[in-house]
Amino acid sequence: MSDSGLRVVIADDHTVVRQGIRGVLEGVDGLVVVGEAGDGDHALALTRELGPDVVVLDVNMPGRTGLEVAGALRDEGSGTRVLMLSMHDDPEYVLQAVRAGADGYVLKDVAPSELRDAVKAVHEGREYFTARVTQQLSVGLRKEIEAEHLRMRLESLTPREREVLLLVADGLTNREIGDRLDISPRTVETHRERVMGKLRIRTVAGLTRFVVQHGLDQDLT
């Protein structure tokens, strides 16, 4: 498979469910399921080992729950996108998933086409929530989710990473940032890559928009 493909790990404690998800997702061109896990501990280990683009996690699993796996991946700064799969559309479950760092939340009764769309969406850097889940959330609750998600992402940045983020958004090159902070351009690049991974933003332009949209030139200083 080419480097441009979409690599997925599936985690659910029911074998028949995993097989069903695999069958649905393998209908996507360029997508390959690289691993399956039947419990949370195995899901976390497999995701660490394989580094897939997306991991599809059942919320409730033996050992670590899907929420705990998502939280562990978030804390590690993993670049793997997380799509939660659940039978529950209760707003609190959705809130817990977002707080854990999930990028999407779909229900197990969705049509196969929607599950494929959800995986592709989170892989592309967009969040995806099943329509019925979204309808359960009030405007205020959605704002709380957004604020909480932003806070967690920002708190994951080290002081040096925050400095690099602001200087990148100011349009400085790696060499210019290195001169400003008295570090090498290669070290600047490493910090920038970590910032992109933690904020789940893939381009310098995206980092700049993020800083401007959220007024971080003031908040991070």
Beta-carbon contacts of residue 208 (< 8 Å; ≥ 6 apart): 168, 169, 171
Same fold, 6-149 and 157-219: no
| Class of CATH domain 157-219 | mainly alpha
Q: Does position 221 have pLDDT exceeding 60, yes or no?
A: no
Question: Band of the pLDDT at 35, cuts 50, 70, 90?
Answer: very high
Structure confidence by residue, pLDDT tens digits, 123-165: 998 989 887 777 665 544 666 777 777 778 888 899 999 999 9
Phi, psi of 81 (to 5 degrees): -80, 145
Mean pLDDT for 24-37 is 91
Note the CATH architecture for domain 6-149: 3-Layer(aba) Sandwich (3.40)
CA distance 21 to 47: 17
- Nearest by Cα to 211 from 139, 163, 159: 163
Q: Does position 36 have pLDDT exceeding 60, yes or no?
A: yes
DSSP letter string over 75-108?
HTT---EEEEEES---HHHHHHHHHTT-SEEEET
Q: Does position 1 have pLDDT exceeding 60, yes or no?
A: no
Domain residue spans of the chain: 6-149, 157-219
pTM: 0.64
| 3-state percent breakdown (helix, strand, coil) of the chain, nearest 5 | 55, 15, 30
Structure confidence by residue, pLDDT tens digits, 62-112: 989 999 999 999 999 899 999 999 988 777 778 788 888 899 999 999 999
- Nearest by Cα to 165 from 192, 187, 185, 184: 192
CA distance 45 to 40: 9
Place of tokens 């394989």: 50
